[in-house]
Amino acid sequence: MDVLNLEATWTYDVNSSQLEISFEQKQASGFYFNVPVEIELIESGGKGKKLIKVDMNSKYKIFKIPLDKKPAAMLPDPRSVLLAKFEMREG
């Protein structure tokens, strides 16, 4: 059985107030999942949190999300509903 294996890189563009997240599915078998993925965006100091949901339905996908300020941290699958391996880093 394959497990969802996602690598993500994110950047924040201050000029456009936009968060860009690039995902890649890295399953060794070559099978690609079609699955919704939740990401929790955490503000500086942990003062506020925002939950977003993206649909991952191909090997590579880029999402652009309007956001007032750069998140301090991002937590993939915060409710642990997916059997998955995540690697998420700022790029």
Per-residue model confidence as pLDDT tens digits over 40-77: 999 887 778 999 999 999 999 999 999 989 999 999 99
* pLDDT tens digits for range 81-91: 999 999 999 99
Whether pTM > 0.85 for this model: the answer is yes
Q: How far apart are CA 89 and CA 74, in angstroms?
A: 9
> Tokens 């700022």 map to which residue?
90
Q: Read out DSSP for the chain? A: ---EEEEEEEEEETTTTEEEEEEEE--TT-----EEEEEEEE-GGG--EEEEEEEE-SSEEEEEEE-SS--SEEEESTT--S-EEEEEEE-
Query: Which amino acid is residue 36, in one-letter code?
Result: P
Q: Tell me what pLDDT residue 8 has.
A: 96
